[in-house]
Structure 1
Amino acid sequence: MQTSAQLKELLARIDRKGYPAYKDTKGSYRFPEYVLSIDHVQGDPFAAPSKVSVRVEGKRAGFPAALYQSPCRRTALADALLRGFGRQTERYSFQAKGSGRSGLISVSRCGQEVLERTACRIDPESGGVLLRLEVGFPANGRTINARELEKILFELLPRCVSASLLYRNLDAKFLQAVAALAEDQAYIRQKLPELGLCAFVADGSILPRLSGVSALPMKDAVPFRSPASLAVTLELPHRGKITGMGVPKGVTLVVGGGYHGKSTLLKALELGVYDHIAGDGREYVVTDGTAVKIRAEDGRSIRKTDISLFINGLPNGKDTRRFDTEDASGSTSQAANVVEAIEAGASLLLMDEDTSATNFMVRDALMQQVIHRDREPITPFLERIRGLYEDQGVSTILVAGSSGAYFHVADTIVQMDRYEPRDITAQAKEAASAFPLEVPPRTAAGAPRFDRRPQASREFQGGERVKLKALGRDGVSVNRETVDLRYVEQLADGEQCAALGYALVYAQRHWMDGRRTLRQIVEELEGLMAEQGLEGLWEGSSNGMPLARPRRQELFAMFNRYRGLKLS
């Protein structure tokens, strides 16, 4: 390791040389408060910025052990430090001048969710901090401007580090509140199963968002207030007593007029699988961590998935026990999405009638008379929803606005009325009794088969470089194949998609041998990330794309949408 003085001397030597001379700066340098590592140097001032990291030793950082002693506190602290560092870089980015991206200082941009990221890590033993960022190395044209880089590395960056990564310069009460909120959220999620609940929405929560393109809370929105019959009171470790709506396990139907808040509630529950920052309005909206949002997904590929629970006897004789298609219909895609969610370990399904295939969800009496059952290969979800819960322990929360058929099979019915929930289970059941549901007696369906065994493609076996590109939250490109993740609606951050891309490549190289099942491969990936962190997916590199931790459910979703997946 070299000293900061040696770095300054090096910058003086390469000043005004051609841009490739910046490559000489790669390495680690000790500054008074931290170690600076230049991990990757960009090829020219117009290319992707250089990758730099800052490591502050535990004693120097000075964070009390109580702030990072548990995984949830550690993730929350790293998230808070990253956000604080990001606010500092906004003040100093582009103060150093030059062509192209010269002077850029940036870190990962965090949304409303608290996610484990490679961008900032807390050492669980020492409390040391590792923060990764990007810096645009300055140039005039393609000639090095080392004086401007010296300004960044010796003036601007030290200010950012001092103001955001050293405990003595931070608001201790704020950091204690961050840790307490993380612990309270983890406590609620832990308590859900023993209380017989699949979700909890605290009174006073603000569910509507500012706009369709902003995840910030809406101003002057109606605060959530639980119906008395569904109210649950919890004693949190830090906040104390909190009351809200407990959504029981089983089948829950959310109904109401248009624009009354049905889908808004469902969206909050979708993202309730993640912790949220203070001030988001959904801090205490907590959902079963395995929950999966299900929708129709016309055009997606399906690889040898057992959808016979819902679809049998296709006219073309296609085997629905190992259903395979490059262009799924609405009903076959939704059937596959349900089965794949169960394979991924989901114990809660979230559905919205608006994004579902109608023929998959229900067939009314008139249609059954005109088109006889022996001519219809689809067993509607209406006829399977009770069995999913009673036989397999999979609950469902369904938003419906037009079909009353689900009144008959629901355990709990909530009406959203001007963003206020009302428990109308008794009234709805009474009204439904006047409209008998013509459903044949429920027959036990065999559990789907989950024995798919992926085989790696040749392109991943020869040690050749794999081209990987994240496409925001829309998906990831791996060599010539784009994995479309637009309809995997619980992905909260583009860095999760990047992690999914790396996970796909890693699994192809190491575990897709035709012997392991898809479940076993996902378990291997989860074990890798638990043991080595997300950095394990980089396979020894120190300059991979920034990553955020995806759930196992999204790992399954990515594999299932990869058109290049080969199964034995």
Structure 2
Amino acid sequence: MRARLGSAVDVEKILAKIDGRGYKAYKELKGVRFSVGRLAFEVARVQGDPFAPPSVVRAEAPARCDLPLPAEDYFLRKLYASLRAYSSKMGEGKSGLLAVPKPSNAILRRSSVKCFGNKIAFRIWVGLPSRGRRVLADRASELLLRKLPKAVEEALSRDEDLERWNKVWKVQQEIRKKMAEKGLIAFVADGSVLPRRCGDCEEPLEGAVPFESPPSLRVEIETNEGPISGMGVRKGITSVTGPAFHGKTTLIEALAKGVWDHIPGDGREFVLSDKNMFYVRSEDGRRVAGVDVSTFIKLEGSERFSTDDASGATSAAASFQEAVEAGSRALIIDEDYTATNFLHFDERLNEIYDIKTVETLSEKLESLKEFGLSLVLVSGGSAPVVARSDTVIYMKNYKPHDVTERAKRIEVRAPPSEYSPPRARELRRPGAEKVKVRGPWLESKSWKSPVKTEANVHLEEEGQLNFLAKLLERPFSGKLRDLRVPDPWDACAGPECSEVRALDLAFVINRAPDLEAVSWEAMTTLGRQRAPRE
């Protein structure tokens, strides 16, 4: 419907006309545009029932958007807080609601906010008031013409920390550029606070040991705000080892989250990883559709492996090859979440084994580097992995130590084996019917089982799941390397979606029950090469 020009007075006239009528009479507001002071509004969507998902109102105003992404993130956080202050119960269901989704500590593109030149636009959930499923005109007028404008105006007037957001974001981009120039896949700044307050919390742990790079691994990166020193994780194989409860997984999870930029105060602002880094783990019972795992799994048909119930080793092998197929050249593996027989094999068992059906990751580390792949592994109990690593970081009391030279003295008898990249699949799947988010699962009536996302630790907020659900409703035909992800503002009509990577979309497509592999061909973008070294 084309938007209808109007004013606050016109909105009050419409509300007066439909006062007391059935709730669907609110549809009279759809497409209406009105202004309050410097703010312009448009009723973009009207809910059909007070208990249904809320209506959506677009708000637009002048704003400081010199750097669009940090400005969008900053003002959205201010809006989230101000809307909570003005939202109140005004009837049944969602009546009186004013809200946008709660943002995580990641700086993401979102469908709730967008800068256009020197203006900013928001999409806001608004619960139009009712009682007995009838229009409450006076309360709707208060909500739309007084509370909502006050909340938006208040958010935009609180810009005292915007320059801080801009400076941190600019430094993050400078570091990312310098990382590529220095041959790094990750960087952890000295002074970073990696532990979180609790398992499901984003806040840094008070009193936590700040990160301090080992001198041998320290690099200094020049930025416009001055030099920043920290630990550089170079291309190649890096192992993180050490006793339990001393920070190995904390470090590895911070690196996994480092594919996104984080807000000032998070503690991990300058923990940055290659944007295409991907965390691989075992997922017992996951679905696999025609993945070439023959380099790891030595069984008939493993070059086109399919199952609805993968084991620990086969699921890890499939996830590894899928990530490479989709374009990742830097992967993370934590032995706590990965099948042991995928990681390494104890040669002493050769006394009783007369056949091996799995060639382990540790045997292929040297060959992986020749294909330009890099790994960061938690390997507290895997001597073959540690011994074959280029860099070995020993975590003790949350402090890293470089023990690479000592690790090189570990004897490994098993000979290395060759890694083979996966053949690229031509994939096909229909669009799913109304994919919904249920906790960490994506569900559809057209699927016999849900898509589980717990294994993707890169996802930071529910909006990313909402976006993946929306994208799974679209049919797909082609290769994973050709995946493109649209801007969430363009793809979603409401405020519920947050940015994801093509790798994250590939993750859910690979686990979709309706996915079919129809052909295979040799990878053309992954050839044998020596990873660049400094």
Q: Which of the five TM-score ranges fits, normalised by the shorter chain?
A: over 0.9
Contact 1:467 1:479 in 2 (8 A): yes
Within the candidate set 190, 195, 201, 1:208 is matched to: 195
1:561 maps to 2:520? no
Q: How many residues align?
A: 511
1:110 maps to 2:84? no
1:251 maps to 2:237? yes
> Counterpart amino acid of 1:134?
W
Q: If each structure's helix is expressed as a fraction of its own residues, which one has the higher value?
A: 1
Displacement of 1:357 in angstroms is 0.3
Displacement of 1:454 in angstroms is 2.2
Within the candidate set 456, 469, 481, 1:519 is matched to: 481
1:303 maps to 2:303? no
Partner of 2:159: 171
Partner of 1:463: none
> Counterpart amino acid of 1:476?
L
Tell me the distance in 2 between the aligned counterparts of 1:144 and 1:407: 68
Contact 1:297 1:334 in 2 (8 A): yes
Partner of 2:114: 121
Tell me the distance in 2 between the aligned counterparts of 1:211 and 1:446: 40
1:55 maps to 2:60? yes
Tell me the distance in 2 between the aligned counterparts of 1:416 and 1:444: 30
Give me the TM-score of the superposition, normalised by structure 2: 0.92
Within the candidate set 210, 225, 235, 2:212 is matched to: 225
Tell me the distance in 1 between the aligned counterparts of 2:460 and 2:203: 14
Displacement of 1:90 in angstroms is 1.3
1:454 maps to 2:404? no
Tell me the distance in 2 between the aligned counterparts of 1:177 and 1:76: 10
Within the candidate set 465, 468, 490, 1:497 is matched to: 465
Within the candidate set 308, 316, 319, 1:326 is matched to: 308
Partner of 2:124: 133
Tell me the distance in 2 between the aligned counterparts of 1:62 and 1:144: 34
Contact 2:324 2:421 in 1 (8 A): no
Tell me the distance in 1 between the aligned counterparts of 2:412 and 2:445: 51
Q: Where do 1:234-245 residues align within 5 Å?
A: 234-237=221-224, 239-245=225-231
Q: Which is bigger in relative contact order (C-alpha 8 A, separation at least 6)?
A: 2
Partner of 2:280: 294
1:471 maps to 2:446? no
Displacement of 1:202 in angstroms is 0.5
CA RMSD of aligned residues (A): 1.6
Tell me the distance in 1 between the aligned counterparts of 2:214 and 2:491: 46
Displacement of 1:443 in angstroms is 4.2
Distance 1:208 1:163, change over 3 A: same
Give me the TM-score of the superposition, normalised by structure 1: 0.87
> Deviations for 1:518-539, whole angstroms, at most 9, x for unmatched residues?
322x1xx33xx2xxx324434x
1:92 maps to 2:66? no
Distance 1:252 1:445, change over 3 A: closer
1:199 maps to 2:189? no
Partner of 1:39: 44
Distance 1:188 1:360, change over 3 A: same
Contact 1:331 1:360 in 2 (8 A): yes
Distance 1:567 1:199, change over 3 A: same
Q: Where do 1:350-361 residues align within 5 Å?
A: 350-361=332-343
Tell me the distance in 2 between the aligned counterparts of 1:467 and 1:381: 39
Q: Specify the SS of the correspondent of 1:209.
A: coil
Partner of 1:437: 412
Displacement of 1:444 in angstroms is 3.5
Within the candidate set 300, 309, 319, 1:337 is matched to: 319
Tell me the distance in 2 between the aligned counterparts of 1:424 and 1:42: 61
> Counterpart amino acid of 1:201?
V
Displacement of 1:38 in angstroms is 1.4
Where does structure 1 lack aligned partners over 5 or more consecutive residues? 461-465
Displacement of 1:137 in angstroms is 1.0
Tell me the distance in 2 between the aligned counterparts of 1:247 and 1:153: 51
Where does structure 2 lack aligned partners over 5 or more consecutive residues? 519-534
Q: Specify the SS of the correspondent of 2:81.
A: helix
> Counterpart amino acid of 2:501?
R
Displacement of 1:135 in angstroms is 1.1
Within the candidate set 358, 361, 375, 1:378 is matched to: 358
Partner of 2:527: none
Contact 2:325 2:480 in 1 (8 A): no
Tell me the distance in 1 between the aligned counterparts of 2:109 and 2:262: 12
